[in-house]
Amino acid sequence: MPEPLLEVSDLRIRFGGFTAVDGLSFSVRPGEVLGVVGESGSGKSVSMLGVLGLIRTPGAEISGKVVFRGRDLLALKNAEMRAVRGREIAMIFQDPMTALTPVYTIGWQIAEQIRAHEKISKRAARDRAVALLGEVGIPSPEQRVDSYPHEFSGGMRQRAVIAMALSCNPALLIADEPTTALDVTTQAQILDLMRRLRADHGSAVVMITHDMGVVSEIADEVLVMYGGRAVERGSRRQVFHTPRHPYTWGLLDSVPRVRGARARRLPTIPGTPGAAGRGCPFADRCAHSFAACAEVPPLTGESGHLDACWLPEEKRTR
Amino acid sequence: MAGYILRRFGAAVLVLFAISVLVFLIFFATPGVDPAARIAGKNADPATLAQVRASFGFDKPLPVQYALMMKHLFISHDLTSFVNRGTLVIPQIVEAVPVTLSLVVGAAVIWMVLGVGMGTLAGAMRGTLVDPLVMLLGVFGVSLPVYWLGEVVNLVTQKELHDSVFSWVPPLGYAPLSEGVGQWALHLLFPWLTLALLYAGIYARLLRGELINALNEDYVRTARAKGLSERRILVKHALRCSLIPIVSLFGLDFGALVGGAALLTEVVFGLPGVGKLTYQALQNLDLPVIMGTVLYAAFFVVLANAVVDVLYARLDPRVRRA
Amino acid sequence: MSTLLKATDVVKHFRAGRGRAVQAVNGVSLEVRSGETLGVVGESGCGKSTLGRCLVRLTDLTSGRVEFQGRDITTLSRRALRPLRPAMQLVFQDPYASLNPRRTAGDAVAEPLRIHGYGDAAAIRKRVAELFDLVGLARTHLDRYPHEFSGGQRQRVGIARAIALNPELVVADEPVSALDVSVQAQVLNLFSDLQEELGLTYVFIAHDLGVVRHVSDRIAVMYLGEVVEVAGAEELYAAPAHPYTDALLSAVPEIDDGADAPRRERIVLTGDVPSPIDRPGGCSFHPRCPVARDRCRTERPALRVLDAAPGRQVACHFPASP
């Protein structure tokens, strides 16, 4: 088994009295796609922003260890961290409509990133931008490189954003809901593109999403988060074929499918997502909760399939 | 882009034409009032009235009257003030323009430097003590009325401390550039500062707000994820986008001030600019002069608007297509 | 089953400047039967929301005809529509935007009752409490403000408001797309419970194909302002006749949970949806259609009943045989 590229241990992020991420640990191996799923407030986006040092809220406390290629990112100086961001770890965000600065051309913005990390001429950076735009499937990239963001459709913008993220050949790409704002046919195009690029560039990917279908299509490993904690972790097969945590069961059941039998009523998880107080964060919405749930369950398991639940083995069936 | 500029200035010319027609109608075609009597001023003698009637062709149809009026204004430049007998209006305005331009351009430079500097500092240092301190300074500037501040400045520099600290301050009034840049600047220094203080406060506040919004935008987060330096993010991304509304406001303020809105400053500091000219003309009901200055002001406001729109398109690519 | 709502050749264009028009809805004909749920599905910009607003006359039609309960409401004035309003209600995507932030949830639900003269204050209070029970909100929620609710609870308030006056028809425009999946399931269940209890008829507009399949009896698929296919939910998903429907369904990312139904082969459409300002000639889907032939480029296919399967309609020259 290869060394992990990124190893996060006991990551905690607090804003004032609110704990957004509570002792999160996970790792990503080179070239692997980790799908991070959860609902709003699960801490899935915040934790990745924390990994990249992008949390700017005054008074935010971040602790734990984020080891990337042997260095603890949380201990790096600002300038050292900047050299990692964009070059070794790139991140793309949900809304392609607002992710690009409106007053510069697409090519300028891609070249800016390349030139922030490499000593090359403007001309060469521009040529690279053209090549990248072609690679992500933008038609006639020599012309489109001089377009402004508003002249692109949503799908094209997300392609441009991906081209920019890949411009320095990062070892890790963090994608925060990259297809959520897109239509389903465009989403299919972008997922296709990400699969292809991963094969060509060999970047590892952390894919943050709320869509179980997207994870099922693209992830090798899956991390399910709830209330700032990891509740289940394992290979895609393990998590989707034999889910162990009641929250994962709920998530899988409550999605209306496009195939299979139609139930009149959908199975639901009662209540609304949100961090609970002490104990298992899911306890107050869980149909199976019992006395033991007053304590936080540890993330344990065998052969890489871990879950954080006190439920005994014989009750682990949906 | 060239097409856009052409269209925009075409529109500006049309607006100017419309304003000139409107002004003309107000002065010449208001029913029940004899325009000749208005032009000739209070207590004009019959000879003057007759002269005005002939010169403006009041017996002819309105379009001809309009053409005659425009001819007096723009071609023969012989529109005459009847209050100050025989003074030609156009040369008066031409003389006043450099004074106003000197005042406004200098003040504009100061307030833009101060406003952008203060706004950027406060916006970028949000969450520290610098932000509220700078903003307090801004509020201070905004809340001092020009006429009051100007009088206080004059009191201090011309009277109370004139013999000690401010002995270098020249008497009130204007020194043209031909007397040397030093004298010109020295005469205008306090008017500049007085006028600039108000606008600097407004611009700093506005820019701070825009900057704080911009720093929370997704594209700034993208810029951080690209590994750019904070300085580059601030200047190239956040500030660049925040300046768009500032520039448009600046154009309008500048146009209005050159058009005569710097009147209070000019009056307080005894500067013979367009504002002061308008002020005097209004006091004497000197209609030909008022007409001239109104058209002049309209010209600058419309021009400033057009320049702003072109600049806006230059700064914001999203506007260009529209 | 009787027809509750009938739309015939509904067209809605918006002006887009320079004499051009956004052809948001372009000749849509459909029927909504009493007691059923008609799903309207399509990607952003396909005109599904505009169609929804046309169906309840929240906007005027450019042309075409809408009949509600057998009565032509196409050209009724606002006044004439008023007595019909209680019978047709709308639920929006973002309940937060459609609720007044300074009014309590109880007030919000009481408002339509007051406007349409439901009864005295006591009767209204009783009805509001009843509605809160019906949509699964606690009585303690009556005095809360919108910002104190979660997204799911706000949508429940929106639904309570819509059903307050015992409507026949509820048009729901993306009512669950802003909600988390676990909450989405709760709200979908509420929709089906209310339908069963109150005998409601729904037009359910959404982009999520799983959601639409779950709630709908019949489904209309829209593309570029046109309905390209209408079929029963099961039939449509089992065997789409229109190539666009086929591509749309194949693009949905599916959860592979080990149940070994073979998944559909993915058809990745190239390019983007054309602008509704510059619609392609012929079949509007032809530039992206994997099976387009010459005829598709010149001749616009009409929505017609499939010979092989009555009850299914498709607008395609070469439909797949179900």
The percentage of chain B sitting over the pLDDT mark of 90, rounded to a whole number, equals 27
Q: How confident is the model at residue C52 (pLDDT cuts 50, 70, 90)?
A: very high
Ranked by mean pLDDT, which of B225-234, B272-281, C269-278 comes out on top?
A: B225-234
Residue contact B225–A54, C-beta within 8 A:
yes
Strand-pair partners of C37: C202
Q: Which residue has the tokens 């372009």?
A: C26
Contact status, residue A287 vs residue A249, Cβ threshold 8 Å = no
Determine the length of chain C. 322
- A137 belongs to a structural domain: no
Token output for A285: 């919405």
Contacts for C65 with CB less than 8 Å, ≥ 6 apart? C7, C8, C9, C10, C72, C74
C185 and A266: CB-CB below 8 Å? yes
CB contact under 8 A, B318 and A102: yes
What range defines the domain where residue A75 resides? Answer: 6-88+168-257+265-315
Asked if residue A62 belongs to a domain, the reply is yes
Does A104 reside within a domain?
A: no
pLDDT given for residue A210 in this prediction: 92
Which of A276-285, B251-260, C155-164 is most confident? C155-164
Which residues of chain A have a CB within 8 Å of the CB of C254?
213, 216-217, 257-259
Q: Which residues in C lie closer than 8 A to residue A260 (C-beta atoms)?
A: 259, 261
Q: Taking CB atoms and an 8 Å limit, are A102 and B241 in contact across chains?
A: yes
Whether A202 and A29 have beta carbons less than 8 Å apart is answered as: no
Instruction: Report the residue of chain C nearest A187, measured CA to CA.
Output: C251
Would you tell me which residues 160-199 of chain A have a C-beta closer than 8 angstroms to some C-beta of chain B?
161, 164-165
Which member of C210, C263, C266 has the closest CB to residue A255? C210
CA distance A66 to A78: 15
The pLDDT of residue B322 is 46
d(CA A48, nearest CA chain C) in Å: 20
How many residue pairs from chains A and C have C-beta atoms closer than 8 A?
134
**Tokens found for residue A171:** 């070892």
Task: With a cut of 50, list the residues of chain A below it in pLDDT.
Answer: none
Rounded (5°) CA angle C133-C136-C140: 70
**pLDDT more than 70, % of chain C:** 98
For C2-42, what is each residue's pLDDT tens digit? 899 999 999 999 987 777 888 899 999 999 999 999 999 99
Residue C262 has pLDDT above 70, yes or no: no
Q: Is residue A186 part of a domain?
A: yes
Query: Which residue of chain C has the CA closest to A217?
Result: C253
Q: Name C275's Cβ contacts closer than 8 Å, sequence gap at least 6.
A: none
Size of interface A-B (CB pairs under 8 A): 76
| Domains of chain B listed by start with CATH number | 2-89 (no CATH), 97-316 (1.10.3720.10)
Contacts of C249 in chain A (CB under 8 A): 258
Residue B321 has pLDDT above 60, yes or no: no
Q: What is the pLDDT of residues B54-112, one digit of tens each?
A: 777 777 888 888 888 888 887 887 777 766 667 788 888 888 889 999 999 999 999 99
How many angstroms away from the CA of A159 is the closest CA of chain B? 14
CATH number of the domain where residue A222 is located: 3.40.50.300
Chains that touch B (3 or more CB pairs under 8 A): A
On chain A, the residues whose CB falls within 8 A of the CB of C248 are 184-185
- Inter-chain CB proximity B218 and A99 less than 8 Å: yes
- Which residues of chain A are within 8 Å of residue C43 when distances are taken between CB atoms? 183-186
Contact check, Cβ <8 Å, C255/A264: no
Chain A residues close to B131, C-beta within 8 Å: none
Q: Is residue A172 part of a domain?
A: yes
Number of domains forming the structure of chain A: 1
Query: Sign (positive/negative) of CA torsion A111, A116, A117, A120?
Result: positive
Tell me the pLDDT band of C130, cut-offs 50, 70 and 90.
very high
CB contact under 8 A, A257 and C258: no
Asked if B219 has any chain A CB less than 8 Å from its own CB, the reply is yes
Do the chains contact at B226 and A99, CB–CB below 8 Å? no
Closest-CA residue of chain A to B314: A103
Min Cα separation B314/chain A (Å): 9
**Residue C153 CB neighbours (<10 A):** 23
Q: At what angle do helices C181-198 and C151-163 cross, to 10 degrees?
A: 20
Distance CA A182, CA B304 (A): 42
Q: Give residue-wise pLDDT tens across range B196-235.
A: 998 999 999 999 999 999 999 999 999 999 999 999 999 9
Q: Pick the range with the lowest mean pLDDT from B51-60, B123-132, B259-268.
A: B51-60
In a domain, A117, yes or no: no
CA distance A180 to A187: 8
Q: Is the pTM of this model over 0.90?
A: no
ipTM, two decimals, is 0.89
The C-alpha atoms of residue C156 and residue C186 are separated, in whole angstroms, by 10
Answer yes or no: is A138 within a domain: no
- Closest CB from A58, A91, A101 relative to B241: A101
